[in-house]
Amino acid sequence: MQERDRMELKVSNVRKMYNKTVAVKNANLYLERGIYGLLGANGAGKTTLMSMISSLEIPDSGCITYNGKNIFAMGDEYRALIGYMPQDFGCYKEFCILDFLKYIALLKGIKKSHIDKQVNHVLNLVNLQKCNSKYFNELSGGMRKRLGIAQALLGEPQILILDEPTAGLDPKERVRFRSIISDIAIDKIVLISTHILSDIEYLSNRLLIMDSGTIEDIGQIEQAFTNIRGKVWECNKNELNANTLRNSIVCNTKVNNEGQQIVRIINEAQPVPSATSVCGTLEDLYLYFVGGK
Ligand SMILES: Nc1ncnc2c1ncn2[C@@H]1O[C@H](COP(=O)(O)OP(=O)(O)OP(=O)(O)O)[C@@H](O)[C@H]1O
């Protein structure tokens, strides 16, 4: 591979504490071109990890390299490669969309002669060009999210870090947003954290799971499903003995039309003869990897 085609982001033994809280325990990760979906419970450490990969937070120990170079030593050279969309971002109320993007372009060090062209380009990508004179407080949640991605795209970054980009969007806006992300993801490293499992299914080809400050690379999602194939069951809860229930991962409980509690579990073997084998979902897969916690 030629050096200019190389895109390797490596997180090695990274740890980050806030006072006495260990936010990221010992993270190891290797990312190359592709879209990675990052799943994890609230407080698992996703935002902290993403902030460190974006070079906004410095790890207490361990290192993060891009193509073999320490990202913190790379400084502006690395920041020019990164597009970061935080969970929430604010904007001066005097700024309209256009002013805000021009301001961010300046902060990113984009040449003044290139700013108008780049701002128009990202506005077109996220379909905000017609309302570019609207002020931040006039924008809907979906528009704000699109503005968030537009600012991340300024400077044509090779690495896109998107922290819960579809949170709070209605289903239609979410579908629209996913299509924007898949259009712009080509030939980039894209890391997306989300609690919306369908985002992962539709957007990413690799699954990462973060749990209590550690991260596991589950790999290709389709392949990962082999881990639970033939192990997901639905059965009447009353027919399960307490021991089987304790040794299973409980994915879901629902009440059927006859008023019986039907439990969905992951278990190596058929738990009771009446249990039905069902297809695993991404939610089952996630619970399998975090042990049903
Ligand atoms: N600035 C901070 N000061 C103190 N503690 C923090 C700070 N930022 C994060 N933490 C703590 O670090 C842990 C990891 O938080 P983080 O925001 O990285 O998790 P997360 O997986 O992104 O959560 P969520 O899904 O809720 O956004 C949590 O226990 C959190 O309370």
Tens of pLDDT, residues 144-155:
988 998 999 999
Q: What is the pTM of this model?
A: 0.90
User: Up-side HSE of residue 49: CA atoms within 13 Å toward CB?
Assistant: 33
Q: pLDDT tens for residues 38-56?
A: 999 999 999 999 999 999 9
- Please report the atom of ligand 1 found closest to the CA of residue 44: 21
Find the mean pLDDT for residues 164-168.
Answer: 86
DSSP 206-225: EEEEEETTEEEEEEEHHHHG
**What is the residue with the minimal CA distance to atom 24 of ligand 1?**
42
| Distance from the alpha carbon of residue 17 to the mean position of ligand 1, in angstroms | 10
| Distance from the alpha carbon of residue 23 to the mean position of ligand 1, in angstroms | 6
- The angle at the Cα of 109, spanning 107 to 113, to the nearest 5 degrees, equals 115
| Distance from the alpha carbon of residue 27 to the mean position of ligand 1, in angstroms | 15
CB of 40 shorter than 6 A to ligand 1: yes
- Please report the atom of ligand 1 found closest to the CA of residue 49: 18
CB of 47 shorter than 6 A to ligand 1: yes
Confidence of residue 89 (pLDDT cuts 50, 70, 90): confident
Question: CA separation (Å) from 22 to 108, 159, 290?
Answer: 31, 26, 18
**What is the residue with the minimal CA distance to atom 4 of ligand 1?**
18
Helix and strand counts by DSSP (H, E) for the chain:
11, 14
Which residues, in sequence order, are CB contacts of 72 under 8 Å at separation 6+?
55, 58, 64, 78
Confidence of residue 292 (pLDDT cuts 50, 70, 90): low
Judged against a pLDDT cut of 90, whether residue 205 lies above it is answered with no
| Residue 271, pLDDT score | 92
Judged against a pLDDT cut of 60, whether residue 198 lies above it is answered with yes
Place of tokens 């509690």: 261
CB of 194 shorter than 6 A to ligand 1: no
| Distance from the alpha carbon of residue 21 to the mean position of ligand 1, in angstroms | 9
Partners of 206 in the beta sheet? 36, 220
| Residue 121, pLDDT score | 94
Ligand 1 pocket test: pick from 14, 15, 21 the residue with the most ligand atoms within 8 Å of its Cβ. 21
Judged against a pLDDT cut of 90, whether residue 84 lies above it is answered with yes
Q: Between these two residues, 41 and 16, which has the higher pLDDT value?
A: 16
Which residues, in sequence order, are CB contacts of 25 under 8 Å at separation 6+?
15, 45, 212, 213, 214
End-to-end CA distance of the chain: 42
